[in-house]
Chains A and B, each alone.
Chain A
């Protein structure tokens, strides 16, 4: 340890530190030594004293007016600094406002973009829907307006006397529709379900939801000598028809 301090004191580090001629790393080292070792601290104190004595020996009266110049420069600089500080405050406020408004507009822009996408999707869906419906109407019109289209009146049997439906069948276009005009009321837990027997297969055509569907033409699968049935089934429909509950049949 003693050697370490001796080597340190023999180097010119302490003297260079005194004069402010050490690098950052050297400065840190010297300051550590000064704090840690009383010998180094004592030496540094002595060096500082001697430096002051030595420097004072070179004192020369300052020229007149130099003090006033210095004070003036310092006042000017302080004023400048105050101005800079004021400017900095104004600039930060401006930057803050700008950042705030930018975020606000960005957010708004994002919302509008989302809304735009949503509206576009809706328009596309509507367009597709409209096309589909127009196509349906066109097909229906073709079928209904065709001279070869045959119209069958369907009446319910004794289980549902009030049931009235009209079926349109076009053997040339191989298209058929049914329009249920009237359905007798059913208990809450029962529904009407439509079926078609085409080429020996029983096809489920789904549940007739309500009488509001009466202006709708429901497409029927076409087949030669096909038979359509309407049955009463439990709520939710049935995978296969309950034969004893047939209320109407349509041969076409």
Chain B
């Protein structure tokens, strides 16, 4: 993993970076988009891919989202949400809309190509991301299912409860515990890597 990737992920660093990007966005400086892409592009692309499950579509989603980010940059209010939360909302909603429009189109044309739509692009994954993937696998399956339904399939908690046939209360607790577990695993890996780099 390139050192910069993790250093920038460090909370203090990311806060500084966030502030800088927000300033640039408010000045309508194109550099903001460049910085956003460098530091959040991979994550946003990953999210888009997770939702639409197609590389070409995911690229479209990322492109459209960045255009939206640029257009709506004056609507971002740092006092209301973190920059990433705002970005995530845009990419997720754009991806869900994209998926729906493609699905309607496919339904109409009756040419649903399952193998293409569900192409996850595992071969493309670079080794530096493998650690994270492994971490992800460490989370118990039951938490993962809930998190995926809520974050990537556009379900509400109620919908996830119905869909997965899990009581609403359990969905809520699994979401909370799942996210907490994530924090722990990710946090420890991060600390380890920072220690390694500093050594």
- Complex CA–CA separation, A50 to B129 (angstroms): 18
With contacts A12-B157, A62-B45 taken as known, whether A51 is within 8 angstroms of B85 at the C-beta atoms is: yes
Name which of B102-110, B174-182, B191-199 contacts chain A: B174-182
Query: Is B47 within 8 A of A66, CB to CB?
Result: no
- Taking CB atoms, residues of chain B closer than 8 Å to A110 are none
A62 to B42, alpha carbons, bound, how many Å?
5
In contact, B157 and A15 (Cβ under 8 angstroms):
yes
Assuming the contacts A67-B41, A74-B30, asked whether A54 and B172 have C-beta atoms less than 8 A apart, the reply is no
**Is B43 in contact with A31, judged by CB distance below 8 angstroms?**
no
Alpha-carbon distance between A70 and B41 when the two chains are bound, in angstroms: 11
Find out whether the CB atom of A74 lies under 8 angstroms from the CB atom of B129: no
Q: Are B82 and A52 in contact (CB-based, < 8 A)? A: yes
Q: With an 8 A cutoff between CB atoms, is B70 at the interface?
A: yes
Q: In this assembly, does A24 line the interface, its C-beta being within 8 Å of a C-beta of chain B?
A: no
CA distance A18 to B67 in the complex (A): 21
Q: Cβ of A12 and Cβ of B129 under 8 Å apart?
A: no
Known: A48-B81, A55-B46, A59-B42. A74 touches B67 (CB 8 A): yes
Judge if B88 is at the interface, Cβ distance under 8 Å. Answer: yes
A21 touches B43 (CB 8 A): no
Residues of A within 8 A of B45 (CB): 59-63, 66
Residue B132 interfacial (CB < 8 Å): yes
B10 within 8 A of A: no
A58 with B180, Cβ < 8 A, contacts A48-B81, A70-B33 known: no
A-B contact count (CB 8 A): 136
On whether the beta carbons of A19 and B88 are closer than 8 Å, the reply is yes
With a CB–CB cut-off of 8 A, which chain A residues contact B49? Answer: 58, 60
CB–CB A19/B182 < 8 A: no
User: Contact at A54–B147, with CB atoms within 8 Å?
Assistant: yes
A53, B172: Cβ atoms under 8 Å?
no
Contact of A61 among B67, B80, B90, B126 (CB under 8 A): B126
- Against A, the Cβ 8 Å flags (1 = close, 0 = not) of B105-135 are 0000000000000000100111001001101
Q: Would you call A57 and B179 a contact (CB within 8 A)?
A: no
Contacts of B158 in A (CB 8 A): 12
Contacts of A122 in B (CB 8 A): none
Chain B: interface size category: 35 or more
Give the residues in chain B near A19, CB-CB below 8 Å. 88-89, 92, 150-151
- Do residues B150 and A15 form an inter-chain contact, with CB atoms below 8 A? yes
Q: How far is the CB of B142 from chain A (nearest CB, A)?
A: 15
CA–CA, A56 to B151, complex, Å?
13
B143-190 with Cβ < 8 A to chain A: 147, 150-151, 154, 156-158, 172, 175, 179-180, 182-183, 186
Enumerate A12-48 residues with CB–CB distance to B below 8 Å.
12, 15-16, 18-21, 31, 34, 46-48
Enumerate chain A residues within 8 angstroms of B46, measured Cβ to Cβ: 55, 58-60
Return chain A residues, CB-CB under 8 Å to B175. 15
Complex contact B67–A59 (CB within 8 A): no
A65 to B58: give the CA distance in the assembly, Å.
14
Residues on the B chain within 8 Å of A21, using CB: 93, 154, 156
Please state if B121 and A60 are interface contacts (CB–CB under 8 Å).
yes
Closest to A16 in B: B156
B45-87 Cβ-contact flags toward A at 8 Å (1 or 0):
1110110000100010011001100110000000011101100
Residues of B within 8 A of A50 (CB): 179-180, 182-183
Is the pair B67, A73 in contact by a Cβ cutoff of 8 Å? yes
| Contact indicator per residue, chain A 225-243, by CB within 8 Å of chain B (1) or not (0) | 0000000000000000000
Check A69/B63 contact, CB under 8 A, given A52-B84, A61-B124: yes
A75: interface (CB < 8 Å): yes
A-B pairs, 10 with minimum CB distance: A20-B89, A50-B179, A12-B157, A58-B46, A59-B42, A60-B46, A59-B43, A59-B46, A62-B45, A70-B66
